A and B are shown apart, each in its own frame.
Chain A
Amino acid sequence: MTTPTEDTTTTEQVVVASATGDGADKPAALLGRTPGQIAWSRFKRNRAGVFCAGIVLLYILVAILAPVITGLQGQSPYIPYGTRDLSLLDDSGLPIGPNGGMSAAHWLGLTPSNGFDVFAQLIYGIRTSLGIGLLITIFSSIFGIVIGVAQGYLGGRFDYLVGRFSDLLLGLPTQLFFIAFTPIVLIWFVPIDRETPVYMRVIAIVLVQTFLGWMGTARLLRGLSLSLREREYVEAAKISGASSWRIIFKELMPNLATTILVQVTLMLPAMVTAEAGLSFLGVGMVSPTPDWGLMFLDASSYYRDDLTYLMVPGISLMIFAIAFNLFGDSVRDALDPKTIR
């Protein structure tokens, strides 16, 4: 929305300099700015965007520093405090005390029935969900970039075949596919009679979600590189004998970078919530691994008596999603002022 003012900043300097050039022998120096610098200055001016970037950073820090934070608090997400100290829960397994048992020791209360520390669970849950979401985003983006650029650059039969294949995948019911295939992939790795290690679950979730996560990016980049391929500078590079690798990495990629960055920032929150959704449905992470989605699953059976337990993951996930969506929008505005929202 701030588009019209952007480009005047540099030109204004020149105009002012020449207008005030009353005998001064040198006009104000023309500042050359890289596209990155321009985008950064544009981003800085969007206050809501900067605020949201702060929140996003905060969540990432929380995820990285989870052990430190819970260490400072002095609680662990794996200890069922309620079964150790019977004074914390009442007879029906609900936490005693205001707002789901909030106290100096348990900042956001305790979970019903087992009495896990909600704050510690949340912090570690953010770590799990954000980590898995990030992995899925990274792998989906890599696949999407490689396949999309290859499709656009190579064209022909390869483009056609891969295009039809991604059409096939786009026609699948995504969520159903996730819940049907995650257990199958798990069985591929781990025999059914043996306990599934946590990292195997992570691998299975990442694999399945990546399998259906790359098509959007690939389509976008295919279209872009298809049009970029016909530009003069690519032609010039080709004529001067540049290899395909060089053309892809030195000519095409820099022009695709902004699109990729925007795509990634918009994909991450979607993937985090998708992971939470899988866990909520019981096919993602399982207890005792702390997870955002699992908290919802657990809380949804107690919300009548203990609403706080539902609100904690709910509000935090909502703030995360809003902040990330706004952040993604402002990144897009900063990098590509032409897009009209």
Chain B
Amino acid sequence: MLRFLIRRALGAFVIIFLLVALTFFAFHSSGNNPAQMNCPKGCTPQLLAQITHNMHLDRSLGQQFWDYITGLFVGQDMGTVGHCAAPCLGYSYAGQAFVWDRIAANYPATFVLAVGGAICFLSIGVGLGMISAWKQGSLLDRVSSSISLVGQSTQIFFIGPLAMALFVYNLKWLDRPEYVPITQDPWGCFMGMILPWLVMSVIFWSNYTRQVRSLMLEQLSEDHIRAARAKGMSNRYVWWRYALRGAMAPIITIFGIDLGAVFSGAIITEVTFSIHGLGFLAVKSVNQADLYLELGVLLFSSAAILLFNIIVDAAYALLDPRVRLG
């Protein structure tokens, strides 16, 4: 296990390095002067020169890349802006703050959105799938299949505003969704995020419903299930301890991929509900042509995805003894 983790971690480092290289050179190849783009209105030549110096644009591209890489581990000095501490992702001129600080300020919202959303789509998706498998061919089964088909075919930027119009403005059950720090007001946080959680989960859960249904049906027709039943085990015990356990492994794989997706920033959900998370930050940085912020968000999200891939593979091996890590 340890060997596996170390190897995967090293692999992730290589991927991150390649990614930094790819994005860094792509972003700097645009032919525009980043200092000019980052210079606020009423830009004076002195200010421009200062920004150029602070951003290290007066150095060669290779040197800049080296600065960026070393900055990730030991930080770097950025002239008048001050010292950028260890995981240094550069300075965002548009936001007048270090990129790392901006990401750290926005990440809690993404994190809460991701955790709540994941709980929603996993429980709803698996639940509906189990019901479908339990009452196979019944009306309930057909209804849940249709719901998941519609869910699969819908878009957050459609049902999001629709749900807001209904629950917030028409029925007035909820306030306008917003992120309240969970440490400040847990209940307010829950009430503010419940709509984004549910809306976000719609596009994810359908996949689980379909998979769980077919996997459970497949499992229930296996010989060992029949043997367990023949032994006189209760239906419920067989269902939960034998069939579900066997069906869980592929579900965990999908769940890991989806977790990576939501933790790296559910952009459309965040923009639809104006939750100031990572995805929102990304869109803002693109619109403001804030190069270092874009780069930082992209790196941070990729690292999140890689981390989840490793966790999922490890969990997979722990849960399914047939899987050998190699």
Write the residues of chain A forming the contact surface with B, with a CB cutoff of 8 angstroms.
167-168, 171-173, 175-177, 179-181, 183-184, 187-188, 191-192, 269, 273, 276-277, 280-283, 293, 296-297, 299-300, 303-304, 307, 310-311, 313-314, 317-318, 321-322, 325-326, 340-341
Contacts A280-B157, A304-B169 given; does A184 touch B282 at CB 8 Å:
no
Residue of A nearest to B213 (CB): A341
Answer yes or no: B210 CB below 8 A from chain A CBs.
yes
**CB-based contact B309/A171 at 8 Å:** yes
- A187 and B155 form a contact (CB under 8 A): no
Interface mask (B167-198 → A, CB under 8 Å = 1, otherwise 0)? 00100000000000000000000000000000
| Residues of chain B lying within 8 A (CB to CB) of residue A283 | 283, 286
Tell me which residues across on chain B come within 8 A of A307, comparing CB atoms. 162, 165
Interface of B is mostly: helix
Q: Which residues of B contact A340 (CB under 8 A)?
A: 214, 218
CA distance A168 to B306 in the complex (A): 10
Whole-angstrom distance between the alpha carbons of A176 and B271 in the complex?
Answer: 13
* A171 and B283 form a contact (CB under 8 A): no
Contact with A along B126-153 (1 / 0, CB 8 A): 0000000000000000000000011011
**Contact residue among B153, B164, B264, B268 (Cβ-Cβ distance under 8 Å from A318):** B153
Known: A179-B282, A188-B31, A282-B283. 4 other contacts (CB 8 A): A188-B29, A188-B30, A280-B157, A303-B164
Contact residues of B between 268 and 293, Cβ < 8 Å to A = 268, 271-272, 279, 282-283, 286-287, 289
Contact A282 B287 (CB under 8 A): yes
Identify the B interface with A (CB < 8 A).
15, 18-19, 23, 26-27, 29-32, 149-150, 152-155, 157-162, 164-165, 169, 210, 214, 218, 261, 264-265, 267-268, 271-272, 279, 282-283, 286-287, 289, 294, 297-298, 301-302, 304-306, 309
Contact A168 B18 (CB under 8 A): yes
In the complex the two chains form, what is the Cα distance from A188 to B32 in whole Å?
10
Shortest C-beta distance, B139 to chain A (Å), equals 17
Minimum distance in angstroms from A248 CB to a CB of chain B: 30
26 contacts between A and B (CB under 8 A): A168-B18, A171-B15, A171-B305, A171-B309, A173-B264, A173-B265, A173-B301, A173-B302, A173-B305, A176-B265, A176-B298, A180-B23, A180-B282, A180-B298, A181-B26, A183-B289, A187-B30, A280-B157, A282-B283, A296-B155, A300-B157, A304-B169, A307-B162, A314-B155, A318-B158, A325-B152
**Could you say which residues of chain B place their CB within 8 Å of the CB of A281?**
267-268, 271, 283
Residues of chain A within 8 A (CB-CB) of B279 are: 175-176
B158 with A317: CB separation less than 8 A = yes
Docked Cα-Cα span, A192 to B34, in Å, equals 12
Q: Contacts of B294 on A, CB cut-off 8 Å?
A: 180
Alpha-carbon distance A269/B282, docked complex (angstroms): 25
Q: Give the residues in chain A near B164, CB-CB below 8 Å.
A: 303
Q: A314 to chain B: which residues have CB within 8 Å?
A: 155, 158-159, 162
State in angstroms the CA–CA spacing of A299 and B152 once bound together: 22
Beta-carbon contact of B150 and A322 below 8 Å: yes
A210 to B143, CA, bound (A): 36
* Measured CA separation A179–B282 after assembly (Å): 8
List chain A residues, Cβ under 8 A from B157: 276-277, 280, 293, 296-297, 300
Give the residue name and chain of the A residue nearest to B217 (CB): A340
Query: 4 tightest A-B contacts by CB?
Result: A321-B153, A314-B158, A173-B301, A187-B30
Give min CB distance, A287 to chain B, whole Å: 15
- Are A173 and B298 in contact (CB-based, < 8 A)? yes
**Residue in B18, B161, B301 whose beta carbon sits within 8 Å of that of A310 in the complex:** B161
Alpha-carbon separation in the docked complex, A175 to B265 (Å): 9
- Minimum C-beta distance from B253 to chain A (A): 13
Q: Using Cβ atoms and an 8 Å threshold, which residues of chain A touch B302?
A: 171-173
Residue ID in chain A nearest B283 by CB atoms: A281
B218's closest neighbor in chain A, by CB?
A340
Expressed in whole angstroms, the minimum distance between the Cβ of A276 and any Cβ of chain B is 7
Q: Which residues of A contact B159 (CB under 8 A)?
A: 314
> Are A176 and B30 in touch, CB under 8 angstroms?
no
Q: How far is the CB of A168 from chain B (nearest CB, A)?
A: 6
With a cutoff of 8 Å between Cβ atoms, the chain B residues found around residue A280 in the complex are 157, 268, 271
- Please give, as numbers and ranges, the residues of chain B lying within 8 Å of A187 by CB-CB distance: 30-32
The answer to whether B161 touches A300, judged by C-beta atoms less than 8 angstroms apart, is yes
